[in-house]
Amino acid sequence: MTSPSQGVRQVSLYYPKLRTLQQTIAFHAAERPDHPAVLCEDRSVTYAELHRRSNRTAHGLQALGLAPGARVAFLAKESEHYYDVLFGAAKAGAVLVPINWRLAAGEVRHILGDSGTAVLFVEDEFLPAAQQVVAELTEAPVIVRLDGPAGPGTGLPDWQRAFPDADIDEGGAWDDPVAQLYTSGTTGLPKGVVLAQRSFFAVRDAMESKGLDWIDLRPGDVSLIGIPGFHVGGIWWAAQGFNAGVTIVSMRMFVSSSAVDLIRDAGVTIACVVPAMLQMMLAEPRATSAHFASLRKVVYGGSPISETLLKQCLDEIGCEFAQIYGLTETGNTAVCLPPAEHVAGSPRLRAAGRPYPGIEVKVIDSVGRILPPGEIGEICLRSPAAMLEYWALPEATAETLVDGWVHTGDAGHLDEDGFVFVSDRIKDTVIVAGENVYPAEVESALAKHPAVAEAAVVGIPHERWGEAVHAFVVFRPGRTATPRELMLFLRGEIADFKVPTSYDVIGSLPRNPSGKILRRSLRDRFWAGRVRQVN
Domain positions in the chain are 352-425, 430-527
Handedness of CA 152, 75, 393, 239 (dihedral sign): negative
The pLDDT value given to residue 6: 43
Average pLDDT, the chain: 91
Phi, psi angle pair for 145, to nearest 5°: -85, 135
Strand pairing report for 420-425 and 430-432: unpaired
Q: Per-residue pLDDT tens for 165-222? A: 999 876 789 999 999 999 865 456 889 999 999 999 999 999 999 999 999 999 999 9
| Burial class for 181, CB neighbours closer than 10 Å (0-12, 13-18, 19+) | buried
d(CA 164, CA 154): 17
pLDDT at 3 over 50: no
Phi, psi angle pair for 198, to nearest 5°: -60, -25
pLDDT at 531 over 80: no
User: What's domain 352-425's superfamily in CATH?
Assistant: Luciferase; Domain 3 (2.30.38.10)
Q: Which residue in 277, 276, 271 sits closest to 297, CA to CA?
A: 271
Cβ proximity of 208 and 166 under 8 Å: no
Cβ proximity of 296 and 258 under 8 Å: no
DSSP assignments along 163-223, one per residue? S--S-------TT-EEEEEEE--TTSS-EEEEEEGGGGTHHHHHHHHTTB-SS---TT-EE
Q: Write the CATH number of the domain with boundaries 430-527.
A: 3.30.300.30
For the segment 318-341, the average pLDDT, to the nearest whole number, is 96
Greater confidence (423 vs 27) lies with 27
Q: Per-residue pLDDT tens for 366-415? A: 899 999 999 989 999 999 999 999 999 999 999 999 999 999 999 899 99
3-state DSSP call for residue 378? Answer: strand
The pLDDT value given to residue 344: 76
Mean pLDDT check: name the lowest of 27-31, 345-349, 371-375.
345-349
Task: Establish whether domains 352-425 and 430-527 are of one fold.
Answer: no
DSSP assignment, residue 353?
B
Spell out the residues 6+ positions from residue 163 whose beta carbon is closer than 8 angstroms to its own.
Answer: 56, 57, 59, 60, 63
